[in-house]
Structure 1
Amino acid sequence: MSSVSFAEQSATAIDIHDPYKLVQQVSEKTFARFAQDKALIDADLSHLKVIVREELMPYVDYKYAAYKVMGQYLRDTTPEQRDRFVDAFEGYLVATYAQAFTEYTGQTVQFFPASDFSDEKMVDVNVQIIEDGRPPIKIMFKARRLKDDSWKAFDLVAEGVSLLASKQSEISNLIRQKGVDSVIEMLYERTGEAINAKQDKESAA
């Protein structure tokens, strides 16, 4: 099992044809950017969205994720509605990841050894977040092989809870109740919400 500090930066180009290297290299690059831009983040937490959009989202298959979230309602939408939903969901993911990264305080991540993926269309990339004095946090990135033989991540499973599955349950219920256009507007609204600091969330609870 390899271990790397989030503050370390890999100068290597991202290997999009190996899902295990992809996850490790993107993780290193993203968290190195956090260290590099710490002053900007401290001044304005919304800068986390900039980092997520630039460093993370190019390697996330958010269109596939958006279609999975729509589930059975996908076939009832027009091409224009699908495009708008994908755009809104991509922004929503950026905001969701940016909010999650307010928990970042320089932890270390351990990457589990890679498995043979030559005949696989989907793989699970397992990592652990290590922080002194706390049990390791188990995280799994689910990645899929694209038609050009490259790979992208499409789901994040933290301590057994799938982000995609939880959002699918929530959003499909809302589509049933309010219709897809209302849900698209809701996603855009959530995308525009301010990122809250960890201590702000705790004091507001």
Structure 2
Amino acid sequence: MTLSFLRLSACVTFLLTLAVGVPTQAQTKPDAMGAPNEFVQQVADQVLAALKADAAVKAGDTARINQIVDELILPYVNFEKTTRLAAGRNWREATPEQKAALVKAFRGTLARTYSGAFTRVDAGTAMKTLAFRGDAAASDVVIKSQVMQSSNTQPIALDYRLEKTADGWKIYDLNVENIWLIENYRNQFTQEISKSGIDGLIAALNKRAQ
């Protein structure tokens, strides 16, 4: 496994955990209608605080991790768009039932594949978004950030791609070391679909998620 893939794994975890933090009276819910960089920073701060305090997550409790992903990820991430773009032109050929099954299978695969990265969050883990220099009126933006960990002397550059929806900003793609999540999986999806079709891809993803 290459260093780039390991770093991609760690950073995908931030995508999967962007809804982990459950607001309390002492916390302010991230403002999805505000500036996109501030929104990402608010969510990241809340998530990291929750991860550091959750003994079950740090112990690698798969059931707890899956519960977090299943129940709390949707408010902040557009997984349907992520899956649709990863599937490419094949998405148009899928039935509504296949599309729903593919989204669910892909989400489960990511949660299972990268769950080990949850346990690597330590007291020194932090994320800092950089100043947003794009068009403030744009509906699709890229937010740059840096992830710091106690075990790494150099920060990891991590980009988030977000879209503005009626409900506010939603994240749908990540880039680390010039590897976009959607592009990386699109190649895998295309190969699997060419061999065994949409149903074959869904079956393969579900197998990985076990």
Q: TM-score, normalised by structure 2?
A: 0.77
> 1:175: which partner in 2?
193
> 2:81: which partner in 1?
64
Alignment of structure 1 residues 36-51 onto 2, 5 Å: 36-38=53-55, 40-46=56-62, 47-51=64-68
> 1:15: which partner in 2?
31
Structure 1 pair 57/32, CA: closer, same or farther in 2 (3 Å)?
A: farther
> 1:197: which partner in 2?
none
Amino acid at match of 2:157: K
Q: Is the 8 A contact 1:15 1:22 kept in 2?
A: yes
What RMSD, in angstroms, separates the aligned Cα atoms of the two structures? Answer: 2.3
> Please, which runs of 5 or more residues in structure 2 have no aligned partner?
1-20
> 2:91: which partner in 1?
74
Q: Distance in 2 between matches of 1:104 and 1:42?
A: 8
Whether 1:114 aligns to 2:132 is yes
Equivalent residue in structure 1 for 2:207, among 189, 194, 202? 189
Q: Distance in 1 between matches of 2:119 and 2:188?
A: 23
Structure 1 pair 35/103, CA: closer, same or farther in 2 (3 Å)?
A: closer
Identity %: 27
* Post-superposition offset of 1:13: 1.2
Whether 1:161 aligns to 2:179 is yes
Amino acid at match of 2:96: P
> 1:102: which partner in 2?
119
* Post-superposition offset of 1:105: 2.3
* Post-superposition offset of 1:177: 1.2
Q: Distance in 2 between matches of 1:58 and 1:149?
A: 9
- Aligned residue-pair number: 183
Structure 1 pair 56/82, CA: closer, same or farther in 2 (3 Å)?
A: closer
Q: Is the 8 A contact 2:52 2:122 kept in 1?
A: no
Q: Distance in 1 between matches of 2:185 and 2:139?
A: 23
Q: TM-score, normalised by structure 1?
A: 0.79
- 1:58 counterpart SS class: coil
Q: Is the 8 A contact 2:60 2:118 kept in 1?
A: no
Decide which moves more: 97-106 or 11-20: 97-106
> 2:13: which partner in 1?
none
> Please, which runs of 5 or more residues in structure 1 have no aligned partner?
1-7, 193-205
Q: Is the 8 A contact 1:34 1:51 kept in 2?
A: no
Equivalent residue in structure 2 for 1:137, among 149, 156, 161? 156
Q: Distance in 2 between matches of 1:88 and 1:165?
A: 18
* Post-superposition offset of 1:35: 1.6
* Post-superposition offset of 1:99: 3.4
Q: Is the 8 A contact 1:144 1:151 kept in 2?
A: yes
Whether 1:124 aligns to 2:142 is yes
* Post-superposition offset of 1:138: 0.4
Q: Is the 8 A contact 1:52 1:98 kept in 2?
A: no
**What does the per-residue CA deviation read over 1:53-105, in whole Å, with 9 as the maximum and x for residues that have no partner?**
44444211100011111111112111211121122122223334433333322
Amino acid at match of 1:152: K
